[in-house]
Amino acid sequence: MSKTALSTPDAPGAIGPYSQGIGVPGLVFTSGQLPIDPKTGDMPGDIKAQARVALANVAAILKAGGSDLSKAVKLTVFLTDIADFAAINDVYKEVFAGAEPYPARSAVQVAALPKPGAKVEIEAVGVTA
């Protein structure tokens, strides 16, 4: 099986020894995406805005691998406060409107994320066919 490292300037660069994403025949795997604007390096404070930015970053990496959010089959959402789960659901419904069935998803609370102030990190698996 061959794997290809994915990279796009439309998502934040890796801050460690990992790839933004990996493509294998038929699938794209994204690394967890923080809510960092790749052009400015800024991060919004509001959880809904953070979720939108993180999902935009995920979408950019999926696109670099020949997929997109409508082809996402599994997302994992990491939250620093599980009380933000309802807000994440609101954004999820917005972003995936018309792309039903919704991708499978897990959401877990974590003690912290790699960027101070980040409330959410999202990773995805998408198909390319």
Sheet (strand 4-6) strand order: 4-6, 21-24, 27-30, 120-127, 72-79, 104-109
pLDDT in tens, the chain (129 residues): 799 999 999 999 988 899 999 999 999 999 999 999 999 999 999 999 999 999 999 999 999 999 999 999 999 999 999 999 999 999 999 999 987 899 999 999 999 999 999 999 999 999 998
For the chain, what is the domain count?
1
The domain in which residue 78 lies consists of 4-127
Query: Who contacts 112 (Cβ-Cβ below 8 Å, separation ≥6)?
Result: 80
* pTM value > 0.85: yes
Instruction: Provide the CATH number for the domain around residue 90.
Output: 3.30.1330.40
